[in-house]
């Protein structure tokens, strides 16, 4: 089967055509970095306008490039959340209109399930169950992935997501927007031991993540510097990246004791080569397989949404035209909050 995927939950407008035998027939990803850069972060209203202008023409381009029409497609998959609600509504409504016009099934995809299943698009040997480290701009979770739509959350962040910590630290150091790739680039020429930064929750019994203390420490250490230049940026970036990586590895090691299968990483932060390397080392130490999608498939794209659509369509998991757009949509709705009430 062939699924058309639409993604518009943050600041990437993306369209892809993916087949059930894992071929990406055509795809486009339009990032809005230039539009948001002057503001140092994603402006929801600007993002929604850009999605509204770009999405429909991109569908035409992708279909034309693959030499197909809507009639050749077996399903329309659109991100239905979680994310910035304006953008999510534009993608979902576009998906509904296409599904209605062509009389095709609609698949309302959870963006996080898109990330979670992305490794199965490029690795046909990856079977359920697996342990997933989902690290992105809005999320930092460990999940036991038991099947399509079957997630057990083992850990989450009690404050910031790791991608958010990368972005905010980059801003403090004057590395600009988007921050994650800038920190990774700057860190290459830096000394990770120059700044002694905290590793929140390292080695504790608690399963969760915390990055707020690390972010504040970057802010404090940076403010204490006298006329910091490019070398300070590189050293701070390297020190921050090393601390964040230590936290991810430590929490993941803890989860490996309770979750079976290969270790899989996904989400925008999973494109970071230093983090990928550290996780590969961890998996090797534990005699577990490590699977990471190619870097382009880690950051937001529509191929992962189309692929989640392929997986859902194969199981008959299609949605009605009344499917809601959701700003919040946890993968494991039964998971307890990271910290109990009053704690």
Determine whether the annotation assigns residue 281 to a binding site.
Answer: no
Residues in the chain: 343
Least distance in Å: CB of 329 to Fe ion? 12
**Tokens (6 digits) for 311:** 């997986």
Annotated ligand binding at 135? The verdict is yes
Cα–Cα dist 106/321, whole Å: 7
| From 8, 79, 136, 210, residue interacting with Fe ion (rule: CB under 5 A) | 136
Tokens of 286: 């534990």
Decide if 80 contacts 322 (C-beta within 8 A). Answer: no
Provide, rounded to whole angstroms, the least separation between the CB of residue 220 and Fe ion.
30
Min. distance of Cβ 134 from Mg ion in angstroms?
16
Residue from 2, 3, 7, 11 binding Mg ion (CB under 5 A) = 11
Which CB atom, from 136 or from 221, has the smaller least distance to ligand ATP? 136
**Residue 27 binds which of ligand ATP, Fe ion, Mg ion, none (CB < 5-8 A, kind-dependent):** none
- Do 244 and 270 touch, CB atoms closer than 8 A? no
Give the three-state DSSP class for 17: strand
CB-facing half-sphere around the CA of 194: CA atoms within 13 A: 20
- Cα gap 341→138, rounded to integer Å: 22
**Count of other CB atoms within 10 angstroms of residue 141:** 27
Cα dihedral sign for 302, 303, 305, 306?
positive
190 binds, among Mg ion, Fe ion, ligand ATP, none (CB under 5 to 8 A by kind): none
Q: State which of residues 164, 300, 311, 319 lies at the interface with Fe ion (CB under 5 A).
A: 300
Instruction: From residue 133, give the alpha-carbon distance in Å to each of 136, 240, 270.
Output: 10, 19, 9
Q: How far is the CB of 54 from Fe ion (least distance, A)?
A: 18
Segment contacting Mg ion by CB under 5 A, of 3-11, 96-104, 117-125, 223-231:
3-11
What DSSP character marks residue 268? G
Beta carbon nearer to ligand ATP, 82 or 309: 82
The conformation of residue 12, written as its DSSP 8-state character, comes to E
Query: Closest CB to Fe ion among 136 and 156?
Result: 136
Select 137 or 309, whichever has its Cβ closest to ligand ATP: 137
On whether 235 is known to bind a ligand per the annotation, the reply is no
Non-local (6+) Cβ contacts of 290 within 8 A are 262, 263, 264, 265, 279, 280, 282, 283, 284
The rounded distance, in Å, linking the Cα atoms of 66 and 112 is: 27
Q: Which residue of the chain is nearest ligand ATP when measured via CB? A: 268
| Phi, psi (rounded to 5 degrees) for 43 | -95, 115
Nearer to ligand ATP, 300 or 319 (CB): 300
Residue number, 46 or 97, with CB nearest to ligand ATP: 46
Query: Nearest approach, Cβ of 333 to Mg ion (angstroms)?
Result: 26
Q: Tell me if 77 sits within 8 A of 309, measured CB to CB.
A: yes
Nearer to Fe ion, 110 or 136 (CB): 136
**Least separation, in Å, of the C-beta of 83 and ligand ATP?**
5
Task: Name the binder of 184 from Fe ion, Mg ion, ligand ATP, none, CB < 5-8 A by kind.
Answer: ligand ATP
Contact 73, 317 (CB under 8 A): no
Where do contacts with ligand ATP occur on this chain (CB under 6 A)?
10, 83, 111, 115, 136-139, 163-164, 166-167, 178-181, 184, 267-269, 271-272, 299-300
Whether residue 197 is annotated as binding a ligand: the answer is no
Point out which residues bind Fe ion (CB under 5 A): 136, 300
Question: What are the binding residues for Fe cation?
Answer: 111, 115, 300
Question: What are the binding residues for substrate?
Answer: 134-138, 167, 180, 184, 272
Point out which residues bind Mg ion (CB under 5 A): 11-12
């Amino acid at each position: 089967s062939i699924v058309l995927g639409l993604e518009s939950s943050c600041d990437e407008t993306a369209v892809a055509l993916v087949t059930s035998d894992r071929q990406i027939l055509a795809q486009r990803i339009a990032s809005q970095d230039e539009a948001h850069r002057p503001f140092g972060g994603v402006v929801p209203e600007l993002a929604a306008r850009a999605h509204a202008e770009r999405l429909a023409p991109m569908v035409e381009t992708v279909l034309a490039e693959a030499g197909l029409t809507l009639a050749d497609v077996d399903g329309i998959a659109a991100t239905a959340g979680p994310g910035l609600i304006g953008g999510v509504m534009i993608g979902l409504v576009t998906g509904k209109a296409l599904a209605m016009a062509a009389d095709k099934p609609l698949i309302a995809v959870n963006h996080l399930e898109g990330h979670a299943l992305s490794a199965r698009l490029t690795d046909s040997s990856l079977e359920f169950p697996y342990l997933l480290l989902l690290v992105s701009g809005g999320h930092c979770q460990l999940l036991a992935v038991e099947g399509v739509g079957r997630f057990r959350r083992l850990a989450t962040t009690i404050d910031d997501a790791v991608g958010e910590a990368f972005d905010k630290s980059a801003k403090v150091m004057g590395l600009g927007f988007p921050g994650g790739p800038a920190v990774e680039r700057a860190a290459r020429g830096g000394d990770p031991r120059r700044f002694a930064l905290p590793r929140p929750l390292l080695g504790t019994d608690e399963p969760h993540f915390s990055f707020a203390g690390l972010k504040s420490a970057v802010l404090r250490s940076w403010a204490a510097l006298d006329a910091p230049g490019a070398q300070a940026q590189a050293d701070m970036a390297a020190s921050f990246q090393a601390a964040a990586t230590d936290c991810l590895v430590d929490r993941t090691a803890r989860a490996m004791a309770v979750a079976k299968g290969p270790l899989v990483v996904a989400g925008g932060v999973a494109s970071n080569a230093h983090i990928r390397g550290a996780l590969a080392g961890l998996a090797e130490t534990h005699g577990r397989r490590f699977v990471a999608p190619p870097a382009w498939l880690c950051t937001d794209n529509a191929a992962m949404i189309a692929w989640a659509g392929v997986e859902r369509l194969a199981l008959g998991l299609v949605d009605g035209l009344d499917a809601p757009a959701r700003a919040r949509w946890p993968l494991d709705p039964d998971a307890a909050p990271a910290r109990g009430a009053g704690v």
